[in-house]
A and B are shown apart, each in its own frame.
Chain A
Amino acid sequence: MIPSNTICVSEEGPANALALNKDATQVVIAGRNVFKVFSIEENDFTEVCNLRVGKNLNLNFSSIDVAWSTIEENTLATAATNGAVVVWNLGRSGRSKQEHVFSDHKRTVNKVSFHLTEPALLISGSQDGMMKCFDLRMKEVARTFISNTESIRDVQFSPHQAHTFAAVSENGNVQLWDVRRHERCLQQFTAHSGPVFACDWHSEMPWLATASRDKTIKVWDIHAKPNLEHTIYTIASVGHVKWRPQKKYQVASCALVLDCAVHVWDVRRPHVPLATFAEHRDVTTAIAWQNDPNTFLSTSRDCSLYRHRFSEAAHPVLWANPHGVCVSARGDVTHAAPDCPLPALHTNPASDRYVPGLGRKQPTAGSLRPQAQAALERLFPGGAASILTRYSGEGRPPCCVVACAKEYKMRGLPTHELAEHNAKVARAYNRHMVGHVWEVVRCVYGRPPPREPPEREPPPPPPAHTNSNAVEEEPLEEVEQWAETQFHNSGVLGMPTLSIYIPPHKYKIRHDEGSGWVSAASAHYVDVETADWTLPEEAFPLRAPPPAHQPSILDTTHGRTAAGGASPGGSSSPGSGSSGSNGSACTAPPNLEQTSSAYPGAATLCRAQPEEGESGPLWVVHEALRPHVEPAPLLALALRHHADLGDVQTAALVMIVLHEHRSDLFPYIDEGLQEHWLLGYIEFLQKHKLWNVATEVVRCAWLSSVWSLSQQSSSVTVCCGRCGRRARPRAMCDRCLPHPDLCAVCRQVVRGLYAWCQGCSHGGHLEHMRQWMEKHQLCPAGCGHHCQLG
């Protein structure tokens, strides 16, 4: 994926260095096995000269660094691994361009640099810790500078003061020298905690950038006393650093290991590169700007030479996710967003295609249009700030749900009383929908003593299908449960024919309350208090109620179940009902599909949608008189509906509270879903640290998989009361052992009985503590705790 304006050439071997001539039209690259000059054309490189020629290709040709005179067009210098500094003259006739070899250094020369104004001056920095200034006219060493460090990695003349040069060394020091004085350096300071590999002078500011193995680039103001201006944090040892021309704050760098890319940084934003050039497949060995801020050249250990155009840059900051959003268990929303967003990324689909062979390690998210890039450069330093905001998002429902979780009761009372209690709790927190479900549960599964106690004796329990000629078999235990249901319901007559409606003013009130949760589903809201559940006597002939009959279930699941409200027992009972023997009606609850298909339109619910006008009352009209309504499928659907709305609490808790009636719902809610609800609710409780409630739920669970949670081992950890560290059981804390327990009252070591408050863990002699507590309430240690001795 080489961007169209990037040009590249492959070399015979990796180049360690490159240098441009003074008008940046030619480039020389030098390495152990390569030494060539190319001219830079518009679209490619043309080889001008191969300097690695001759019979004796000795170590003088093995270059670590190369420099091109900034004044003399034909003068080059290389630093060789054997310690030689070789001067080359491209103007020489013949194949060999070698002009002179200085063999003054004992060890590898790391760097050569020409003086910026004196054409004859060349300086070198070597592994032997010395710098030598060569006079090319005299062909001799003019001065030797002894750094007193192990090795010099880079030397650079200052563009501001003609005779000053900077040298960086492997011990992390930067030295400033006057080229005319070799006795001692002008200044020396420790710049990095590791070896410094490179430095570069800013062309306008008195700034020196240093690059180090400690993965940082530091910018020093050395106008007077060296002052650290900026630190850039990279991910790998920094091998080279070069200021971008005409851009005050921008500096390019490449890594010595790990990271193959060239990064351009804005020093004001030290963590994220402004631009990245990731064409190289191995680490970049050298970079040089082509005298203008928009193009630079780089060589790499992958044996390539590239010219990069800045317009081809990738911008990692645009790949980065600037947004984070998180919804907590408590319903809070946390959102991190940039203070001022960066320009939108313009992806160029064509450049997104993956080229397998190239093995590019970083994604290129397309390039930016010039205006966008300029905008990015402008905004980049200021785009660092993010704002982190917390919202109490859907804040209220979790509060209510948690409060309800604490107050709901799930055992110890008959179903209807629990339901009544829970309905009250739900209403107290304005959860009218949920309250309604509880009311329905209360009405369906037993009632408190009816207003007019029935004179009729309870109907006989259904005979164990001796006369059941009609319907399916039923397990015996269910019969017993049905019998019990029947008993609870004995005061109530069959399905009322009346219509139930919410007075418009009531409906409206609920809307106006900010806390009233009115959802689409709340169209089913039925005010149970206004509903008259008992029938006028004359509506029915007095007779024993059918065993399975239930009051109306109006809490249906949003139309899906509108027609599900009739039971087969209802249709078969007219015959058997008068006889008082309702055995055939007492059938296993058929599943919903059968019900609705068998009795389509048995009951019709006409609902007024809330959006259709708030005055639209809710009507439930039963066209056909059905003495039996099978509540189980409807209740099951209601629970499913609540679970779907995210209210697993209601679903789980209703199932728990139903106790012996629970099995009614089993045909409609498979075991997997039951477990799902219970575990979901337990997790919800745990997220809110309601351990007691969660344990209660586990205890009430009827599924072995949930119930067995209580059988899992608990671990108890003993912590030292003094330091809070974990201690071994029945042993003193290792750290605190040398400090015996002192009496908080008399400050003496306690031997024998030690009395202590479990609240604040302070204590002392039993007698002292007793005396103290008689007079005082607060802890003798002064911690402010209201102590209690057991």
Chain B
Amino acid sequence: MITVLNTIDTGHEDMIHDAELDYYGLKLATCSSDNSVKIYDIKNGTQTLAADLKGHFGPVWQVAWAHPKYGNLLASCSYDRKVIIWKESGEWTKLYEYTGHESSVNSVAWAPAEYGLILACCSSDGSISIIQYSQDTGNWDVKKITGAHAIGVNSISWCPALSADLNLDPLTNKDAPKRLVTGGCDNLIKIWREQGDQWVEENRLELHIDWVRDVAWAPSLGLQRSMIASCSQDKRVVIWSSDDNVSWTPTILNTFDDVVWSVSWSLTGNILAVSGGDNKVSLWRESTDGQWLCISEVAKGLGQTPNDERSTL
């Protein structure tokens, strides 16, 4: 079911830390320890290098695409303590540089487009920044949550706007609270809610016994509940689900053989891709009785299906 399309020769001189596809799945951005960000156009299974962005002076940990209604915007964060927002207008140029962190910036995420142009980033200095573009002034306004996670924040993800609050009627709930989830070096997952012009800690989810490496809030096209996937140095992937975004129930998806570094949801939020230290990427789907099943697994470069289960619509 999962087959290798191709292997991309990126020309990066060092390790690649993140590869992100844009809203349409037609542009691919990669970032690497060699301080560069590269952008590829994907057409019919082939890709061409569109841009090589140099502006960071340290390994670039993560990239994030903004919603296309704001144009082609890409945010990148780096060990050099900076977040750079790149914009394509003919050529890729630096639109904004944020230098508000005292240590490596580990993760960036754009807010759902409904909220406006807002970027959240988090750093090894333990703080989270929420940077909002103000249409009127043309400035980027910064709010900061300090001391979010002791030792450092590794990953950040937004709650989708559509599921903003499942209890409330979305028709009358355009001002639904914004939510963020972060995972940190204190082994905790925290959920933050905007309250007035403050961000407050709404929930802390404890289960992992080592650094949380990645968190991902599931997009919720049609889903009736919220789900967050988290993965950790403790080799486990946990799915947290909630009907009201307030009380969360954990399900351990699996315990892997090695550190799990990265999780990513499919558009419909029902397939989770997991990538771990064993160099494998596996796809997981929740069966109707709440069990998570591995529907596909590939080791680096090989396409294979673990069993005959082809469970999809």
Contact = CB atoms under 8 A, between A and B. Distances in A.
Interface stretch (A89-97, A114-122, A315-323): A315-323
Nearest to B31: A324
A648 B303 contact: no
Contacts of A335: 19, 273, 275, 281
Contacts of A317: 15, 33
Given A329-B267, A335-B19, A518 B14 contact: no
Contacts of A385: 15
B270 A322 contact: no
Interface string A333-344: 111111001001
B18 A321 contact: yes
B310 A517 contact: yes
Main secondary structure of the interface of B (DSSP, over half): loop
Interface stretch (B132-140, B194-202, B242-250, B254-262): B254-262
A684 B267 contact: yes
B33 A363 contact: no
Contact of B18 (A336, A390, A398): A336
Given A323-B261, A335-B275, A647-B268, A519 B312 contact: yes
Contacts of A683: 162, 221
Interface residues of B, number: 102
Given A338-B279, A517-B312, A646-B266, A389 B15 contact: no
B170 interface: yes
Contacts of A322: 15, 17, 261, 277
A394 B11 CA distance: 28
A645 interface: yes
Given A361-B124, A675-B170, A329 B275 contact: no
A325 interface: yes
Contacts of B102: 361
A696 interface: no
Interface string A367-411: 000000000000000011111111111111110000000000000
B293 to A, nearest CB: 10
Q: Point out which of B4, B5, B16, B283 has the most chain A C-beta atoms below 10 A from its C-beta.
A: B16
Given A345-B233, A648-B222, A687-B24, A389 B313 contact: no
Contacts, number: 305
Contact of A386 (B16, B81, B169, B303): B16
B274 to A, nearest CB: 7
Contact of B57 (A233, A644, A645, A681): A233
Interface in B4-36: 4-8, 10, 12-21, 23-25, 28, 30, 32-35
A416 interface: no
Contact of B275 (A215, A325, A652, A688): A325
Given A324-B16, A676-B162, A271 B5 contact: no
A392 B222 contact: no
Nearest to A515: B310
A455 B253 CA distance: 60
Given A320-B33, A363-B185, A431 B103 contact: no
A331 B283 CA distance: 11
Given A361-B102, A363-B185, A393 B283 contact: yes
A705 B301 CA distance: 46
B65 to A, nearest CB: 10
A353 to B, nearest CB: 9
A521 B288 contact: yes
A680 B7 contact: no
Given A329-B267, A331-B266, A391 B5 contact: yes
Interface in B197-251: 210-211, 213-214, 220-224, 233
Nearest to A325: B275
A725 interface: yes
A338 B4 CA distance: 17
Given A363-B152, A519-B313, A325 B281 contact: yes
B95 interface: no
A357 to B, nearest CB: 13
A325 B233 contact: no
B48 interface: no
A343 B311 CA distance: 36
A330 B28 CA distance: 13
Nearest to B79: A235
B213 A321 contact: yes
Contact of A389 (B8, B166, B213, B278): B8
Interface string A192-225: 0000000000000000000000010000000000
B102 to A, nearest CB: 6
B279 A337 contact: yes
B150 interface: yes
A520 B309 CA distance: 10
B221 A325 contact: no
B76 interface: no
Contact of A675 (B124, B171, B275, B287): B171
Interface in A707-728: 724-725
B283 A336 contact: no
B262 A325 contact: yes
Q: Point out which of B1, B7, B166, B267 has the most chain A C-beta atoms below 10 A from its C-beta.
A: B267
Interface in A56-77: none
A320 B12 CA distance: 16
Interface string B52-72: 000001110110000000000
Interface residues of A, number: 97
Contacts of B24: 329-330, 687-689
Contacts of B300: 337, 387, 389
B142 interface: no
Contact of B262 (A321, A345, A647): A321
A327 B271 contact: yes
A677 interface: yes
A323 B244 CA distance: 32
Contacts of B35: 233, 271
A51 interface: no
Interface in A630-685: 640-648, 651-652, 670-673, 675-677, 679-681, 683-684
Nearest to A520: B288
Nearest to A258: B81
Contacts of A236: 57
A393 B273 contact: yes
Contacts of A651: 222
Contact of B15 (A334, A383, A670, A679): A383
Contacts of A393: 1-2, 266, 271, 273, 283, 296
A433 B313 contact: yes
Given A347-B233, A388-B30, A672 B170 contact: yes
B263 interface: yes
Given A363-B152, A392-B5, A517-B313, A324 B298 contact: no
A265 to B, nearest CB: 12
Q: Point out which of B5, B28, B30, B220 has the most chain A C-beta atoms below 10 A from its C-beta.
A: B5
Contact of B268 (A324, A514, A521, A646): A646
A329 B21 contact: yes
A345 B10 CA distance: 27
B277 A341 contact: yes
Contacts of B213: 321
B18 to A, nearest CB: 4
Contacts of B21: 326-329, 332, 334
Given A321-B61, A329-B25, 13 more contacts: A271-B14, A323-B262, A324-B17, A326-B20, A328-B25, A337-B281, A361-B103, A558-B288, A640-B224, A641-B288, A643-B222, A644-B222, A644-B270
11 contacts: A272-B15, A321-B214, A329-B23, A389-B4, A391-B303, A518-B311, A647-B222, A673-B224, A676-B170, A683-B162, A687-B267
Interface of B: 1-8, 10, 12-21, 23-25, 28, 30, 32-35, 42, 45, 47, 57-59, 61-62, 79-81, 90, 102-104, 124-125, 150-152, 162-163, 166, 168-171, 185-186, 210-211, 213-214, 220-224, 233, 258-259, 261-271, 273-279, 281, 283, 287-289, 295-296, 298, 300-301, 303, 310-313
